[in-house]
Amino acid sequence: MKKLVCLLLIAFQAAGCSTSGGMYKSGDSTHGELSVGRTAVTVLGVLGAAAAIRKGGGGGGGGQEYGYAWDYQRNGQWVCRDKSNGQYARKENCAGSPVVDHWPNN
């Protein structure tokens, strides 16, 4: 998902700020005049994509969870697991989390 957001960032930046669609440069007539509308769309697009990145992408994953959780094993050991894919992780990743076995129901 982050790759898609990054591609959107590039696309919004490519939209440019000039009437011709390129990046505006004062005194350069080949790129047209400054377009307030295109500039606003570029700024809003970049801000929106940045917000989506901060929030973890924004959709498509359904109920997928992120982070880490403790899992009590049959051998009497507590292990740390990645909630998004179930893989084992370093115990440091679960530090500060309540030691409660919710696995596989994060």
pLDDT per residue over 61-89, tens digit each?
556 678 999 999 999 999 999 988 889 99
Task: Read off the pTM.
Answer: 0.40
pLDDT of residue 77: 94
How large a percentage of the chain has pLDDT more than 90? Answer: 23
pLDDT of residue 15: 56
Query: Counting beta carbons within 10 angstroms of the beta carbon of residue 69, is it exposed (0 to 12), middle (13 to 18) or buried (19 or more)?
Result: buried
How far apart CA 103 and CA 26 sit, in angstroms, is 60
pLDDT of residue 82: 92
Which is more confidently placed, 52 or 19?
52
Phi, psi torsion values for 81, nearest 5 degrees: -130, 150
Exposure b/e, 31-63, CB count within 10 A at least 16 = b? bbeebeebeeebeebeeebeebbeeebeeeeee
pLDDT in tens, 21-39: 566 566 666 666 666 676 7
> What token pair was written down for 4?
């898609």
